[in-house]
Amino acid sequence: VTAQNSMVITADQPQSTISEHIYGQFSEHLGTGMYGGLWVGEDSEIPNTDGFRNDVIKALKELQVPNLRWPGGCFADEYNWRDGIGPRDERPVRINTHWGMVEEKNQVGTHEFMRLTELIDTEPYISANVGSGTPREMANWIEYMTFDGNSTLANLRRENGQEEAWEVKFWGIGNESWGCGGNMQPDYYADLFRRYATFAKDYSGNELYKIASGFSNENYGWTETVVEEAGAHMDAISLHYYTLPTGDWGNKGPSKDFGEDMYFSTLKRGLRMDEFVTQHSNRLDKFDPEKRITLAVDEWGVWTDPLEGTNPGFLQQQNSIRDALVASTTLDILNKHSDRVRIGNIAQTVNVLQAMVLTDGEQMLKTPTYHVFDFYTVHHNTKLLPLHLDAEQYEYEGENIPSISATASKSDDGTVNLTVTNLHASETKEVTADIRGVDLSSVSNARLLTGDAVDAINTFDNPDNVSPTDFNDYTLDGNNLTLRIPSKSVIVLRIN
Ligand code: AHR
């Protein structure tokens, strides 16, 4: 145990609100993410409610998912919403050209998806087709969903079983329009965004929050051009960043059975989110110093090689304690930037990339990443607290990363919420926290998530291998909290 990690938290100087929407999820029509993972159909032997599996609904509801992005991703830019309404057995069969060239039978369409959002008690975030659609098609979808008066489209919605207009706020206009969404140039996309946004109307009191397609990683020029030319018409612009263990798209690295080299390089690459958010935000500051336009980090997470024996187009991977720590450290970064970042969506909810749950037939397990999202619910809609951290470096083969990452926040009732990650692969770390500006007397809800190895995972034979336990290794003396945090772990606690 070493004792050189200290933090000062100024609890009487609350900063930006940490929007709960930073903790959003993403479920694309991709592999078994939707079909099999969420939707099994009403006639399935797997217990379900209106076609959606009960075990997954329960797990997601408990996670307090604030918003769910759908139907893509790349899929969104080839989706026509009209394929997904009306009697299910009459819907067309399309080809999911991005993800495995499999049949898309459109069994989950607008009504089913909106039912899913009700079942897990979340807000929809719809990604509209700009790449292969038309402004009219998109405008019709908005009218169909949100107009509560008398029109042919609103009446069609009623005929299809939904009397009341739905409330839809988050509305994406294009996805990765520089890539799978149409391979556009920034000037061209900026014009298209202006055009589409013009026809994205607010009906019947519904107010759309229009999100433009931003870039991935460090292409800051795209952000600058799109915001300069179309910023007045948008509420947010997105940023995507995927963490590849090796950094190489041709050979991304494994999701299981790895050692400290892959553990370290994945964590180090994950931390680059700070640089990307900072730089995109700086570019936005040039045109929007008031921070009206927010950053929607609406795709992020660990992307590894697919599991052996699976369809490579299905993006199926395991999920380890390593990935859980990429989640906790990324969420710390997004929280820290919550003055600009108000939306986040990890990719993707079920069975795809860094998922919350994995399913196999009728079995389901919660991944280590699930538990991190569960811990971090304490920060939803709280105020970020200033946190000055002096942390030791974790050195591996001549490279360094900080060994500690943390978020402190304050709830309306004055509770201080703290999440702390020890990234070190093998050393327990002692961390002292001097919490100023409040009177403290007790700690509650202290929990720990760790693994017995850097690649510890949950399997259907051992689904609770990586799961939360009580955390007791702390002392609170006045306003001084001392934590002894095991290697490769994340803790949460609430202090009153
Ligand atoms: O999440 C998988 C894919 O990654 C999404 O469809 C796309 O937007 C991104 O390239």
pLDDT higher than 50, residue 1: no
Domain boundaries, the chain: 2-10+385-495, 17-381
The count of other CB atoms within 10 Å of the CB of residue 278 is 13
CA distances from 11 to 380, 383, 481 (A): 17, 10, 14
Ligand 1 binding pocket mutation candidate from 34, 180, 351 (most atoms within 8 A of CB): 180
CATH architecture entry for 17-381: Alpha-Beta Barrel (3.20)
Ligand 1, atom 9, lies closest to the CA of 73
Average pLDDT over residues 217-227: 92
Ligand 1, atom 7, lies closest to the CA of 73
pLDDT tens for residues 26-71?
999 999 999 999 999 999 999 999 999 999 999 999 999 999 999 9
315 CA closest ligand 1 atom index: 2
Average pLDDT over residues 137-164: 98
- Tell me if domain 2-10+385-495 and domain 17-381 are identical in fold: no
- Which CATH number, 2.60.40.1180, 3.40.50.1950, 1.20.1440.230, 3.40.50.11030, labels domain 2-10+385-495? 2.60.40.1180
Catalytic residue among 20, 28, 224, 299: 299
- Three-state secondary structure along the chain? CEEEEEEEEECCCCCCEECHHHHEEECCCCCCCCECCCECCCCCCCCEECCEEHHHHHHHHHCCCCEEEECCCHHHHHCCHHHHCCCHHHCCCEEECCCCCEEECCCCCHHHHHHHHHHHCCEEEEEECCCCCCHHHHHHHHHHHHCCCCCHHHHHHHHCCCCCCCCCCEEEECCCCCCCCCCCCHHHHHHHHHHHHHCCCCCCCCCCEEEECCCECCCHHHHHHHHHHHHHHCCEEEEEEEECCCCCCCCCCCCCCCCHHHHHHHHHHHCCHHHHHHHHHHHHHHHCCCCCCEEEEEEEEECCCCCCCCCHHHCCCCCEHHHHHHHHHHHHHHHHCCCCEEEEEEECCECCCCCCEEEECCEEEECHHHHHHHHHHHHCCEEECCEEEECCEEEECCEEEECEEEEEEECCCCCEEEEEEECCCCCCEEEEEEEECCCCCCEEEEEEEECCCCCCECCCCCCCCCCCEECCCEEEECCEEEEEECCCEEEEEEEC
pLDDT at residue number 464: 98
pLDDT at residue number 3: 54
Whole-number Å distance, alpha carbon 12 to ligand 1 midpoint, is 41
pLDDT tens for residues 16-36?
999 999 999 999 999 999 999
Ligand 1 cavity residues, CB under 6 Å: 28, 72-74, 175-176, 180, 299, 347-348, 353
Instruction: Give the separation between CA 487 and CA 481, rounded to whole angstroms.
Output: 19
pLDDT at residue number 458: 98
Whole-number Å distance, alpha carbon 462 to ligand 1 midpoint, is 30
pLDDT tens for residues 336-352?
999 999 999 999 999 99
Partners of 297 in the β-ladder? 344
Decide if 176 is catalytic: yes
Whole-number Å distance, alpha carbon 176 to ligand 1 midpoint, is 8
Ligand 1 binding pocket mutation candidate from 74, 78, 244, 252 (most atoms within 8 A of CB): 74
Q: For all residues of the chain together, what is the average pLDDT?
A: 97
Whole-number Å distance, alpha carbon 457 to ligand 1 midpoint, is 24
Q: What ipTM was reported for this prediction?
A: 0.99
pLDDT higher than 60, residue 365: yes
175 CA closest ligand 1 atom index: 8
pLDDT tens for residues 299-337?
999 999 999 999 999 999 999 999 999 999 999 999 999
Catalytic residue among 176, 207, 290, 430: 176
Ligand 1, atom 4, lies closest to the CA of 73
Q: Which residue has the tokens 């450290």?
A: 329
